[in-house]
């Protein structure tokens, strides 16, 4: 059942990873992408060509009659962008995990449309698996944003700004930090003439396990077993890389403390 005056037309501020994936999913769901603004007009034109919309080089030229304007820019720029736009007929929503909804208070109807996922522009993604965290300045705004999210995702949650910033912190740890560890391991393997792909089955199983059992029960390894001989051997191998040696030591000490004290 459609909410009265449901969202049909959508414009974007930002043409990066998040905007590109959202536009693709929303367009596929039957919504019309009207305009895009980017400080880099080349990026805006590329986005516009992909989605058949108008590329803008000034926020002052935004169509104020669209049903939804999505601000999908780096966190540090959300507030400045919000202050620079004119009043819209429809809703203004940002996609940030850490920025409070209150930065949009200068607009009439506003909210948050936060997809909890990692996005890379040129990588295909099933966005329907991503939870969408919704917040709105009114019940009507929340209903409209929720209805929209429900067209492209199986999971829609109402999450306030305080909850969302904690969710974002946890997301950084399980995604960005873990990926950085992949990068360290990749470089280490390469330096020893080993193929990083050898680790991929282990990576897949580690990620799969926590979908069935708790991380605490899933934990294995020398620190979990308090295997000092192996830990010392590993640290010795890292002695020429002090930063990675310290990182290994920090993780190992935390795991040992949790499971062996």
Give the tokens for residue 256.
């040992």
CA distances from residue 45 to 56, 57, 105 in whole angstroms, order as listed: 8, 10, 30
Query: For every one of its 261 residues, what pLDDT tens digit does the chain have, with 9 covering 90 and above?
Result: 445 679 999 999 999 999 999 999 999 999 999 999 999 999 999 999 999 999 999 999 999 999 999 999 999 999 999 999 978 899 999 999 999 999 999 999 999 999 999 999 888 899 999 999 999 999 999 999 999 999 999 999 999 999 999 999 999 999 999 999 999 999 999 999 999 999 999 999 999 999 999 999 999 999 999 999 999 999 999 999 999 999 999 999 999 999 987
Tell me what pLDDT residue 260 has.
85
Tell me what pLDDT residue 1 has.
41
User: In which residue ranges of the chain is CATH 3.40.50.720 found?
Assistant: 9-159
**Helices (H) then strands (E): counts for the chain:** 11, 8
Tell me what pLDDT residue 251 has.
97
Task: Tell me the three state secondary structure of residue 35.
Answer: strand
* Side-chain half-sphere exposure of 176, counting CA atoms within 13 A: 8
The residue count of the chain comes to 261
Contacts of 154 (CB under 8 A, 6+ apart): 128, 129
CA distances from residue 195 to 2, 189, 208, 235 in whole angstroms, order as listed: 52, 6, 22, 21
* Nearest to 48, CA basis, from 90, 14, 81: 14
Indicate the fold that domain 165-260 takes in CATH. Answer: 1.10.1040
In angstroms, the CA 62 to CA 88 distance is: 9
100-142 pLDDT per residue, tens? 999 999 999 999 999 999 999 888 899 999 999 999 999 999 9
- For 9-159, the fitting CATH number among 2.60.40.60, 2.60.40.1260, 3.40.605.10, 3.40.50.720 is 3.40.50.720
Phi, psi of 231 (to 5 degrees): -60, -45
223-256 pLDDT per residue, tens? 999 999 999 999 999 999 999 999 999 999 999 9
Location of structure tokens 């308090």: 226
Query: How many other CB atoms are found less than 10 A from the CB of residue 186?
Result: 13
User: In which residue ranges of the chain is CATH 1.10.1040.20 found?
Assistant: 165-260
CA distances from residue 156 to 6, 143, 248 in whole angstroms, order as listed: 16, 11, 37
Cβ-contact 58, 33 below 8 angstroms: no
* Side-chain half-sphere exposure of 46, counting CA atoms within 13 A: 14
For 152-163, b/e burial (b = at least 16 CB within 10 A) is: bbeebbebeeee
Integer-rounded Cα Rg, in Å, for the chain is 22
Ranges assigned E (strand) in the chain: 9-13, 32-37, 54-56, 68-71, 91-94, 109-115, 132-136, 156-158
Cβ-contact 132, 155 below 8 angstroms: yes
Q: Are strands 109-115 and 132-136 parallel, antiparallel or unpaired?
A: antiparallel
């Amino acid at each position: 059942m459609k909410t009265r005056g449901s969202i049909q037309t959508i414009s974007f501020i930002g043409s990066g990873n998040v905007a590109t994936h959202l536009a693709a999913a929303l367009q596929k769901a039957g919504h019309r992408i009207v305009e895009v603004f980017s400080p880099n007009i080349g990026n805006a034109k590329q986005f516009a060509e992909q989605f058949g919309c108008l590329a803008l080089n000034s926020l002052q030229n935004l169509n104020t009659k669209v049903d939804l304007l999505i601000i999908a820019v780096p966190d540090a720029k959300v507030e400045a962008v919000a202050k620079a736009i004119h009043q819209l007929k429809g809703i203004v929503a940002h996609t940030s995990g850490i920025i409070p909804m209150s930065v949009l208070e200068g607009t009439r109807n506003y909210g948050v449309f936060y997809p909890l996922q990692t996005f890379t522009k040129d990588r295909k993604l099933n966005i329907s698996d991503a939870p969408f965290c919704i917040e709105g300045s009114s019940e009507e705004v929340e209903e409209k944003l929720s209805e929209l999210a429900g067209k492209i995702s199986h999971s829609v949650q109402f999450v306030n700004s305080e909850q969302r910033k904690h969710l974002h912190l946890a997301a950084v740890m399980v995604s960005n930090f873990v990926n950085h560890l992949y990068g360290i391991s990749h470089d280490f393997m390469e330096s020893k003439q080993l193929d990083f792909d050898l680790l991929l089955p282990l990576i897949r199983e580690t990620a799969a396990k926590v979908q069935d059992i708790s991380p605490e029960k899933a934990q294995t390894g020398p620190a979990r077993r308090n295997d000092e001989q192996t830990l010392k051997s590993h640290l010795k191998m890292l002695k020429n890389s002090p930063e990675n040696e310290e990182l290994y030591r920090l993780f190992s000490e935390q795991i040992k403390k949790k499971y062996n004290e």
